[in-house]
Structure 1
Amino acid sequence: MKILPTLRQLRYLVALSEYRHFGRAAESCLATQSTLSAGLQELENLLGVVLVERTKRKVMLTPIGEEVVARARTVLRGAEEIADLAAASSEPLSGPLRLGVIPTIGPYVLPRVMPYLRETHPGLRLYLREDLTARLLERLAAGDLDVVLIALPYHAPDVETLEVGDDPFLLACPPDHPLAAKADLCSADLAAAELLLLEEGHCLRDHALAACHLPGPAKGEGILGTSMVTLVQMVANGLGITLLPKMAVDCGVLAGTGLVARPIMDAGVRGIGLAWRPSSPRKADFRALAEVLKGA
């Protein structure tokens, strides 16, 4: 019978590939540097190959080391899913849950949800990660996250999604702007205005343009914001108008700016939904979380 690598040895190798530093890798594994080094040496002896190229200046993985890391991630993810399956069978929404959320949703939904979850599911330990959609989905695929809360639609064929609600778009502008006083405001009215958008990479940008049937600016043109708060401040300083999700307006993103929000009669909505790996054993947990989010 073959002597196989242990999960601990594989975890040490994966950590070293991520941090490229023995001390930081050991710290992430709650081990001493000497323990991690010894574990990696045992792994190399077991496999009969050199996985790590050690120099005084930097740490590099050998080509075979990189291949082993890729397979080790899959093994570790599978082991975690076994533990998750056992935990999910004993009590719903309990134990650690790593939730990713995009910045145009998290600040406006989670404050409503967290108190309820703490009260009704005290055994749940929720770990949050805020990032852009593409990077969250990468972390989801790698097993670093269990489930992500994103805006839909979003092309992600390798995940399962469950929509929990709709979020309309509103026009935000100064009260003396011509569009603020227009009755039955529609998407066509926005075509000639100076529309401020988030920079590329934020799905809110694409969803807002699609909802209002507007073309995006040519690459390199237009004034772009790095966050929704930045957009609001630029509008407040007279640089143009913008489109905001209703949930952000309802939560006071315009407070203190003097700006007004107006509905757009023919505008579409963005969906808010959860996404997870099809192989995840915690689908019942995710559906239970979806019900909580629907209430919010």
Structure 2
Amino acid sequence: MNLRDIEYIVAVADTKSFQKAANQCYVSQPTLSGQIKKLENYLGGMIFERTTKTLNITPFGDEIISKARVILEQTNAIKNLSHDFKDPWHTPLKIGIIPSLGPYLIPSFLKTLRKEIGDYKFSFDEDITDNITQKLINRELDAIFLATDIDTKQFNEIMLFDEPFWVAYSSRDDMGHLNEIQTSDLNLDRMILLSDGHCLRNQIIEICNTYKQEDSVGFDTKASSLETLINLVSSGEGYTLVPALSLQAAWTTDKGIQVQKLKHEKAYRSIRLVYRKNYHREEQLLKLAELACLRLPNTVVKI
């Protein structure tokens, strides 16, 4: 067993294909398959179940691949050690972020990073919570910005700020006559939400269900992004709840939208930076967390 064999099995696990893994590792498919077969014989168990149409990871393989990812991460850490010792920001950080936060936090965040740290490389991967969490587990990302609770046995978190929810509605809507808006004022049949998979959708449903007797709320209209939500609200299709960082003056001037802060004790989400336990660049992540909070507007509350 050698490091190359470990790279092979992780590549197959990630690509779900021997051919794609071989291409990724710059070897022929027979070479990669042969080495993995030798490794399975050496370990005394099958890592992959192979059929003509599918490739599945065995329970034994799950354990092997999990440890293999740790080995590869530590190997890369050793390779970067000399550079990082001289310059801790030398190795690029790969950061995941949810779509309802990324467009509103990243622009000002990047300006702060460039000013405070200099011309160093950062990559941001914008995706839904489940996907970036899995990428963090797979060590494809170094840290992720989330708005949901985490498994504290597996991850560490740095709490950043609480972001209140605001009601966004058309200026032609009767809701504009209310001095303040509470959850009981919301007509759930007219609520527009993000599509399934977005944590923001689940959080809003949870808030609405705190005063509704049914186990779930039925929302007919769904959108794939906050921008689509706002355009639907502008056209008079209904109203929605939006996180504070997304608020824009142009909504009022260009789209005829009004906003009011929702009056409810749980009408907010807590943003945190999440990373794996024993991650070797914790000092850099602590600095990132500090910088992420430097230019926050007064509509959010720093934790």
Q: C-alpha separation between the residues in 1 aligned to 2:163 and 2:99?
A: 15
The 3 A distance-change label for structure 1 pair 47 and 172 is: closer
Q: C-alpha separation between the residues in 1 aligned to 2:62 and 2:115?
A: 44
Q: C-alpha separation between the residues in 2 aligned to 1:138 and 1:165?
A: 23
Where does 1:100-139 land on structure 2 (aligned, <5 Å)?
100-122=96-118, 124-139=120-135
Q: Structure 1 length as normaliser, TM-score? A: 0.81
2:68 aligns to what SS in structure 1? Answer: helix
Where does 1:163-174 land on structure 2 (aligned, <5 Å)?
163-174=159-170
Paired residue for 2:281?
282
Paired residue for 2:236?
238
87-96 vs 270-279, which deviates more? 87-96
Contact kept, 8 Å, 1:148 with 1:276, in 2: the verdict is yes
Displacement, 1:198? Answer: 1.9
Paired residue for 1:143?
139
Paired residue for 1:257?
255
Q: Paired residue for 2:11, among 15, 40, 46?
A: 15
Q: C-alpha separation between the residues in 2 aligned to 1:253 and 1:81?
A: 46
Contact kept, 8 Å, 2:188 with 2:217, in 1: the verdict is no
Q: C-alpha separation between the residues in 1 aligned to 2:164 and 2:57?
A: 51
**What one-letter code is carried by the residue in structure 2 that aligns with 1:277?**
R
Q: C-alpha separation between the residues in 1 aligned to 2:162 and 2:229?
A: 22
What count of residue pairs does the alignment treat as equivalent?
A: 287
Displacement, 1:233? Answer: 2.2
Where does 1:1-296 land on structure 2 (aligned, <5 Å)?
5-29=1-25, 31=26, 33-34=27-28, 37-38=30-31, 41-42=34-35, 44-45=37-38, 48=41, 60=55, 68-83=64-79, 88-122=84-118, 124-152=120-148, 154-157=149-152, 158-191=154-187, 194-210=190-206, 213=210, 215=212, 218=216, 221-250=219-248, 256-266=254-264, 268-296=267-295
**What one-letter code is carried by the residue in structure 1 that aligns with 2:235?**
N
Q: Structure 2 length as normaliser, TM-score? A: 0.79
1:79 aligns to what SS in structure 2? Answer: helix
Displacement, 1:179? Answer: 1.4
Contact kept, 8 Å, 2:165 with 2:242, in 1: the verdict is yes
Paired residue for 2:301?
none
Residues 173-226 of structure 1: CA deviation (Å, up to 9, x unaligned): 111212113113333322566222223321112333455645588366532222
Unaligned stretches of 5+ residues in structure 1: none
**What one-letter code is carried by the residue in structure 2 that aligns with 1:41?**
G
The 3 A distance-change label for structure 1 pair 148 and 83 is: farther
The 3 A distance-change label for structure 1 pair 205 and 126 is: same
Residues 116-168 of structure 1: CA deviation (Å, up to 9, x unaligned): 3234434632122111112211211221111001114x243321111222222
**What one-letter code is carried by the residue in structure 1 that aligns with 2:135?**
R
Contact kept, 8 Å, 2:188 with 2:219, in 1: the verdict is no
Displacement, 1:290? Answer: 0.5
Contact kept, 8 Å, 1:52 with 1:59, in 2: the verdict is no
Q: C-alpha separation between the residues in 1 aligned to 2:7 and 2:104?
A: 36
Please provide the CA RMSD for this pair: 3.3
Contact kept, 8 Å, 2:10 with 2:68, in 1: the verdict is yes
**What one-letter code is carried by the residue in structure 2 that aligns with 1:280?**
Y
38-47 vs 104-113, which deviates more? 38-47
Residues 224-280 of structure 1: CA deviation (Å, up to 9, x unaligned): 222212222222222211111111113856773221112234453212210011121
**What one-letter code is carried by the residue in structure 1 that aligns with 2:12?**
L
179-188 vs 19-28, which deviates more? 19-28
Q: C-alpha separation between the residues in 1 aligned to 2:123 and 2:188?
A: 44
2:147 aligns to what SS in structure 1? Answer: strand
**What one-letter code is carried by the residue in structure 2 that aligns with 1:102?**
I
**What one-letter code is carried by the residue in structure 1 that aligns with 2:285?**
F
1:256 aligns to what SS in structure 2? Answer: helix
